[in-house]
Copies of this chain bind each other. A is one copy, B any other.
């Protein structure tokens, strides 16, 4: 069952029911503007990743600022974006199963759609689905640039798969998918530069090998919020797939720039609002936000602008707070903002965004693709 929205437009933030997923609209819009300006300066396209926000509304705000389209991980996410008016979608992932591929092909009637492959059998299955629907599907070859997850090796294996795509009726070779997830969270700039530098070299060589046999890469896509500076300066990547930049989270905020300072270009714009539900014991308190409401896979959330109060443990529906001796103790019923450790899965816990600006609720947006992992 869909939960009702926890707020009404116009109410004070402090009156919002909890747990609630807040978007600080000033910070959020600044993040969108910052990324858009960076992409213009570098001549690189942004294809923002909707696995972060799961919202056609946010997709369209990104595209209004110049993003060429959206990435998704799942067919169900693509459906919800397409139904919400997004016109250019890349499934930056493999899709297994004839039913899912039929759904993907059906979307090609209402938007531009592309998908990745790393296996000849998969290419054949995508071709069958496209032929059955009578549509052309763009297929990118995913190459493994060091993450060791999906993807064929760069070089000859990728070229062979591209040739197969090119030779399959109803399919069009769309380019390369070259994402290194693990590199996003390497803490120092030097580590990220070394890892992504190697990924760029592998990608550049593969693009060149494809060019030599007459296959152009319309899209060379990859990069995330942690590494896009490097890919966007490479001259090889045409599209940047950052997602988290629009919200930021505690984990990305631990990344360091070249000077060793935390990367500070994007602001925290996503929060989980919680209520102190128990303060029966000195030095501790309990917030009504456990790991069912805030993701803990990349670390615990941070308490926003309340020095001396730390979120120290999550159970299903309880968040344990430790209160330093010299800190103002949170009171029963008081509301606190948390910065999620990881924004993407935190968003996926909620049915509604509550957009706030200077203490007032300005908008409600559905997390339309919540749970859309099919």
Question: Which of chain B's residues have a CB closer than 8 A to the CB of A150?
Answer: 277-278, 280, 286, 318
B93→A279 contact, CB < 8 A: no
Q: A239 at the A/B interface (Cβ < 8 Å)? A: no
Question: Which of chain B's residues have a CB closer than 8 A to the CB of A93?
Answer: 277, 317-318
Question: Which of chain B's residues have a CB closer than 8 A to the CB of A314?
Answer: 297
Residue of chain B at shortest CB distance from A366: B1
B96→A332 contact, CB < 8 A: yes
Q: A181 at the A/B interface (Cβ < 8 Å)? A: yes
Beyond the given A1-B80, A73-B317, A96-B275, could you list 8 further A-B residue pairs with CB under 8 A, ordered by the A residue number?
A: A1-B366, A2-B2, A6-B374, A51-B316, A150-B278, A151-B281, A181-B315, A349-B371
Kindly identify, within residues 334 to 374 of chain A, every residue whose CB is under 8 Å from any CB belonging to chain B: 344-345, 348-351, 366, 368-374
Interface size for chain A: under 10, 10 to 19, 20 to 34, or 35 or more residues? Answer: 35 or more
A interface vs B, CB < 8 Å? 1-3, 6, 17-19, 51, 73-74, 76, 80, 93-97, 99-100, 118-119, 121-122, 144, 148-153, 181, 275-281, 284, 286, 288, 291-293, 295-297, 314-318, 320, 332-333, 344-345, 348-351, 366, 368-374
CA distance A349 to B295 in the complex (A): 12
B351→A371 contact, CB < 8 A: yes
Q: Which of A278, A296, A318 has the most CB of B within 10 A?
A: A278
Q: Which 3 A-B pairs have the closest CB atoms?
A: A150-B278, A118-B280, A96-B277
CA distance A144 to B369 in the complex (A): 40
CA distance A121 to B277 in the complex (A): 11
CA distance A293 to B297 in the complex (A): 12
Known contacts: A291-B297, A316-B345. The answer to whether A332 contacts B374 by CB under 8 A is: no
Known contacts: A315-B149, A348-B292. The answer to whether A17 contacts B374 by CB under 8 A is: yes
B348→A17 contact, CB < 8 A: no
Contact partner of A316 (CB less than 8 A), chosen from B73, B288, B316, B366, is B73
